[in-house]
Amino acid sequence: MSLARHPLAQSQKSQRLDHQRHDFRFLQIAGVGLFLALPFIFASLGLTSAPYILDLLSMIGLYALLALSLNVILGMAGLFHMGHAAFFAVGAYVTANLNLTYGWSIMATLPVAAVASGFMALLVAFPVIHLRGDYLLIVTIGIVEIVKIALTNDIFGWTGGPNGLIGVSRPVIFGYRVVKPHDFFYLIWLMVGISTLLFHWLENSRFGRALKYIKEDTVAAEGMGVNTTAYKLMAFVIGAAWAGMAGTIFASKMRAISPESFTFGESVIMFTIVILGGSGHQKGVILGAFLVMGLPELFRQFQDTRLLVYGAALVAMMIFRPQGLWPPKPRLYRLPAPYDQKYPGEEKLKDGDRSC
Amino acid sequence: MLILSLSSVTKTFGGLVAVAGVSLGVERGQIAGLIGPNGAGKTTIFNLITGSIRPDDGHIFFSGRSLAGLKPHSVVALGVARTFQTIRLFPRLTVLDNVLSGCHCRLVSGVVAALLRLPSQRLEEKLVLKRAMAELEFVGLAERWSAEAGSLSYGDQRRLEIARALATEPKLLILDEPAGGMNERETANLMDLVGQIRDRDITIMLIEHDMGFVMRVCHRVFVMENGSLIAEGAPLEIQTNPRVIEAYLGRQDD
A250-260 tens-digit pLDDT: 999 999 999 99
Q: Using H for helix, E for strand and C for coil, what is the string for chain B?
A: CEEEEEEEEEEEECCEEEEEEEEEEEECCCEEEEECCCCCCHHHHHHHHCCCCCCCEEEEEECCEECCCCCHHHHHHHCEEECCCCCCCCCCCEHHHHHHHHHHHHCCCCHHHHHHCCHHHHHHHHHHHHHHHHHHHHHCCHHHCCCEHHHCCHHHHHHHHHHHHHCCCCCEEEEECCCCCCCHHHHHHHHHHHHHHHHCCCEEEEECCCHHHHHHHCCEEEEEECCEEEEEECHHHHHHCHHHHHHHHCCCCC
pLDDT digits (tens, 9 = 90+) for A224-280: 999 999 999 999 999 999 999 999 999 999 999 999 999 999 999 999 999 999 999
| pLDDT tens profile A111-126 | 999 999 999 999 999 9
How much is the average pLDDT of B42-60?
A: 95
Provide mean pLDDT across the span B95-105: 96
- CB contact (8 A) between residue B88 and residue A356: no
Q: Does pLDDT of A307 surpass 80?
A: no
**Predicted ipTM of the assembly:** 0.92
Looking at the complex, does the CB of residue A201 fall below 8 Å from at least one CB of chain B?
A: yes
Per residue in B173-188, pLDDT (tens digit) is: 999 999 988 889 999 9
Mean pLDDT calculated for residue range A62-80: 97
Quick one: what percent of chain A has pLDDT higher than 70?
Answer: 90
Angle at Cα A115 formed by Cα A109 and Cα A121, nearest 5°?
135
Cα–Cα nearest to A170, from A105, A224, A219, A218:
A105
Between A139-143, A158-162, A346-350, B68-72, the lowest mean confidence (pLDDT) is in A346-350
Which residues lie below 8 Å from residue A124, measured CB to CB, with a gap of 6+? A86, A143
pLDDT at B27: 95
Q: Which of A36-40, A218-222, B26-30 has the lowest mean pLDDT?
A: A36-40
| Cα–Cα distances in angstroms (integers) from residue A117 to residues A88, A187, A247, in the given order | 8, 21, 10
Provide the pLDDT for residue B252.
63
Q: What is the CATH number of domain B2-79+170-249?
A: 3.40.50.300
In the predicted model, is pLDDT for residue B21 greater than 80? yes
Pick from A171-175, A303-307, B220-224 the range whose average pLDDT is largest: B220-224
Residues of A in contact with B126 (CB under 8 A): 336
pLDDT over 60 (residue A305): yes
The pLDDT value given to residue A175: 87
Question: CB–CB of A198 and B145 under 8 A?
Answer: no
Q: CB burial class (10 A; 0-12, 13-18, 19+) of residue B80?
A: buried
Residues of chain B in contact with residue A198, where contact means CB-CB under 8 angstroms, are 115
User: pLDDT band at B248, cuts 50/70/90?
Assistant: confident
Shortest Cα distance from A209 to chain B (angstroms)?
Answer: 7
Using the Cβ of B214 and the Cβ atoms of chain A, whether some distance falls under 8 Å is answered with: no
| Beta strand B203-207 pairing with B31-35 | parallel
Of B88, B105, B117, the CB nearest to A220: B88
Inform me whether the C-beta atom of residue B101 falls under 8 Å from chain A C-beta atoms: yes
Residue A11 has a pLDDT of 40
> pLDDT value at position B253?
62
For chain B, positions 106-125, list CB contacts with chain A under 8 A.
107, 109-111, 113-115, 117, 121, 124-125
| pLDDT one-digit tens code per residue, A178-227 | 888 899 999 999 999 999 999 999 999 999 999 999 999 999 999 999 99
pLDDT value at residue A13: 41
Round the average pLDDT of chain A to a whole number and report it. 87
Q: Compute the average pLDDT of residues A312-334.
A: 85
- Cβ–Cβ of A333/B129 closer than 8 Å? yes
Q: What pLDDT sits at residue A21?
A: 53
Instruction: Give the whole-angstrom CA distance, residue B170 versus residue B178.
Output: 17
